[in-house]
Structure 1
Amino acid sequence: MKHEYIIGIDGGGSHCRAVLQSSDGKIVGEGVSGASNIMSDPQQALQSIVSACKAAIADANLSLSLSNVVVMAGLAGANIPKAKTYFLSLPMPFKRIHVMSDLHAACFGAHEGASGGLIICGTGSAATCHRDGTFKDIGGYGLSLGDNGSAAWLGLQAVKITLLTMDGVHQESALAKRVVEQLQARTASDVVTITSSYKPSHYGELAPLVTACHEAGCKTATEIIREGARYIHSIIITLNEYYRSFCKTAGDSSVMPVCVVGGLAQTYIPLLPNDIQQSLCAPKTNAQRGAIGYFLQVESAKR
């Protein structure tokens, strides 16, 4: 079936990005909106998706309604079946909507459907390895259970260290001072009260304090950043071990290309061992196009 218009979505913990593709494969419009994690806030996610789609249509200057478009959405939280099922039960304004993990969409786009691995370190963190239509995931369990190395994780670590500093357990640091200033807190109780309702996106907003203090030479911030980099390193090793085990079965000894993407990628990559840095590659295209490409591949396989 030929679809006249398809919207590809990359929905994460902080932003939702949409591209509108016409039947000839051209991107004719783009749009951006807010958070779209369907596990942490499915209602907000749907609002953000609708907003981003409307913005993409407006950008294309088309008199097109949402009921006329097919949406292929790569969304944070879609790796959790219960979250995906509930989200798809919500009333949708689209002609059709299909959902996949934002991680899978990003990986498929990064390698344009070919085999490869991808690590996202944005608001959240997760990794996957793709080969022959199959994905092997690592992480992506949310901030309370993981998301090491993510922006939200950096922010959470900064708050924890700030509280320990205020208690006298840690020495004063530039990072703790910046966190207190950002939160406009005077006491540890203030910090707890202010952050009691925080979502991952809120903690993610504190991550720039960690990276800025790290770049300015704050040892406390640098240790947090280095811990995040060690985690990314361990994930790359794990992905390669999985890939090598698959290759033994398939009789393929090629090296897996890996992309590290997200807002913290350029913070972590320089801290990785040189041999690991040399094995990394840049993504060929984005998650929005990856979502569309995956959708078209699946549709083609059905014919």
Structure 2
Amino acid sequence: MSSQTEYQICAVDGGGTGCRAVIGRSDGEILARAAGGPANYTTNPIQATENLRKAVDQALSLAGSGALPLERTVAHVGLAGIMCEDDSQALAAQLPFAHCSVSDDRLTSALGGLGDRNGALLAIGTGSFAAGRRGASVRFLGGYGFKAGDQASGAWLGRELLCHTLLACDGLAEPSDLTRAVFARFDEKIHRLATYSATSDPSQFASFAPQIVEAAGDGDPVGQKVMRDGAAYLNAALDALALKETDAVCLIGGLGPHYATYLAPRYQALIAPSQGTALDGAMTLARKHLETAS
């Protein structure tokens, strides 16, 4: 890429609930932001590509006359469901940027949240993963998708609640106000609950997460059990990352902060605010890509 040509940068963050795009000048000044629909590459690569392109096009339109065309844009895209280098290259080839690097959203989230700090990031939303940073090295745990993982996530919590509710209906588990409320939602008809459980996607399971968090805070035993079970996985992940007393632990995502009081005391003492978002991490990588390519 010629150093005589002016370029702008673009950052994209995408996941199961939506995607976000930022257009900025090469010096980091933000020109415009836009949002789009779901963009999980594993779940639906065609939809993910279409939605992120729409978000980028909208951001470019909002930037107005101060923006350069995408053919003079260096971008980094961090997307949920990018599982390997083949995925990265396949997606990059479909995007109209001058130069584009693609990673999964775990990397952009870790860099955005931890910044230059050592420590761990627990990203708990519809899905989940853990990341540990030590210097330039970043290690990831989880993020394998709802069917094979995403423990402690909103989707996982919702599924666990529905499973417990069905067991309570069969007399194999203790009911609670929470399970009775769930059963009432399905007109107390077990076949409706079972059918919903069999056909729901992660976002539908995750829709129960706010109800679980609230019930657990009010002392509901099932709500507390599900939250404790999720926290057990998170504590195990932090154990595996071998944190030091000077490290930071960042809790991000819609559910991340709600797990703070469920973590082991030694990890509660390390909790620190996130320095930024996955979109900030993508912007950092886009700027680095521009420096490397120039």
TM-score bracket for the superposition, by shorter chain length: 0.7 to 0.9
Which residue in 1 is equivalent to 2:83? Answer: 79
Residue deviations 1:85-139 (CA, integer Å, cap 9, x gap): 55445x3344443211211101112233454321111111111223443321111
* Counterpart position of 1:147: 150
The alpha-carbon distance between structure 1 residues 277 and 64, as it changes in their structure 2 partners (threshold 3 A), is same
User: What is the TM-score with the length of structure 1 in the denominator?
Assistant: 0.85
Match of 2:255 in 1: 264
Question: Whole-Å Cα distance in 2 between the matches of residues 232 and 74 of structure 1?
Answer: 23
- CA 1:281–1:3: 2 relative to 1, 3 Å: farther
- Equivalents in 2 of 1:140, 1:78: separation in Å? 10
Q: 1:280 aligns with which of 271, 282, 285?
A: 271
With 66-75 and 26-35 compared, the bigger mean Cα shift is at 66-75
Q: Which runs of structure 2 are paired with 1:13-162 in the superposition (5 Å)?
A: 13-62=16-65, 65-81=69-85, 83-88=87-92, 91-162=94-165
Letter of the structure 2 residue corresponding to residue 296 of structure 1: R
Structure 2 letter corresponding to 1:153 = W
1:169 deviation in Å? 1.5
Shift of 1:156: 0.9
> Counterpart of 1:174?
177
Counterpart residue identity of residue 200, structure 1: P
Please give the alpha-carbon distance, in whole angstroms, between the structure 1 residues aligned to 2:249 and 2:292: 26
Aligned AA for 1:11? Answer: G
Q: CA deviation at 1:35?
A: 1.7
Letter in 2 for 1:195: S
The alignment-based identity, stated in percent, is 28
Give the Cα–Cα distance (whole angstroms) in 1 for the partners of residues 211 and 251 of structure 2: 21
CA contact (8 A) 2:74 2:290 kept: no
Letter in 2 for 1:146: G
Q: Give the 5 Å matches for 1:123-272.
A: 123-182=126-185, 184=186, 186-240=188-242, 255-272=246-263
Higher mean C-alpha deviation, range 148-157 or range 18-27: 18-27
**SS class of match (2:241):** helix
Deviation at 1:238, TM superposition (A): 1.4
Residues 11 and 286, structure 2, Cα contact 8 Å, conserved in 1: no
Distance 1:224 1:22, change over 3 A: same
Q: Report the alpha carbon displacement of residue 152 of structure 1 after superposing the two structures with TM.
A: 0.8
Matched-pair contact (CA < 8 Å) for 1:113–1:294: no
**Counterpart contact for 1:113–1:293, Cα < 8 Å:** no
SS in 2 for 1:104: helix
Q: Which residue of 2 aligns with 1:249?
A: none
The offset of 1:294, in angstroms, is 2.1
- Using the TM superposition, give the Cα deviation of residue 14 of structure 1 relative to its aligned residue in structure 2, in angstroms: 1.3
The DSSP-based 3-state class of the residue aligned with 1:10 is: strand
Rounded to whole Å, the distance in 2 between the matches of 1:93 and 1:167 is: 55
Structural RMSD (CA)? 2.5
1:8 corresponds to 2:49: no
8 A contact 1:19–1:31 mirrored in 2: yes
